[in-house]
Amino acid sequence: MSRLPIPQLGFADLQLQNLGVHLDPSLQRIADFLEQQGGLVELVRRDLERGLKKPAAGRRGLTPEQTLRSLILMRVKNLDYRDLRDRVNDGFTLRSFTQFDSHAVPKHDAFNRAFNRLTPATLAAMNQLVVRPPWHSNWKTAGNSASIPR
């Protein structure tokens, strides 16, 4: 049985959208940017399926989008695996950003296994596109913090 590439939204997800729960501005800019980066998601998908005999069969794991967004969230918020799982599990906005919505959030070791499957080439591409985005040269730094221009 093949998997759905994007899990279907449930009633609770639609209600949250109607309530107007929004991401914070920095995560919203990252999410908007990631929506345009289909090639990066494809690289993550290839890495997650690498070495599997039947990638469409078996237990459902993290989707490529969830893996990519969770890794970016972990790096942006400077979280460890347990904190990542707890923060995503507890927060509506982080569930929305990572695309878990009302679905179960996996345990911390599932994040570790998914992130470890990513190749150095994929991580380099992610760093090039997300960590050092096109607007990086326009970032204003004040002390140790950086802000993204509007």
- DSSP letter, residue 99: T
Token pair 């982080």 is found at 94
pLDDT in tens, 84-116: 999 998 888 888 889 888 788 999 999 999 999
pLDDT of residue 150: 41
Average pLDDT value for residue range 68-91? 91
d(CA 61, CA 48): 9
d(CA 81, CA 108): 5
Instruction: Evaluate if residue 146 carries a pLDDT over 50.
Output: no
Beta bridge partners of 140: 147
Cα separations in angstroms, 28 against 34, 43, 66 = 10, 22, 15
Token pair 């679905």 is found at 103
To the nearest 10 degrees (0 to 180), the angle between helices 64-77 and 25-35 is 150
Report long-range pairs for 41-48 (Cβ below 8 Å, ≥24 apart).
41/65, 41/68, 43/121, 43/122, 43/125, 44/68, 44/118, 44/122, 46/122, 47/117, 47/118, 47/119, 47/122, 48/114, 48/117, 48/118
3-state secondary structure of 92: helix
pLDDT in tens, 39-62: 899 999 998 888 877 777 767 788
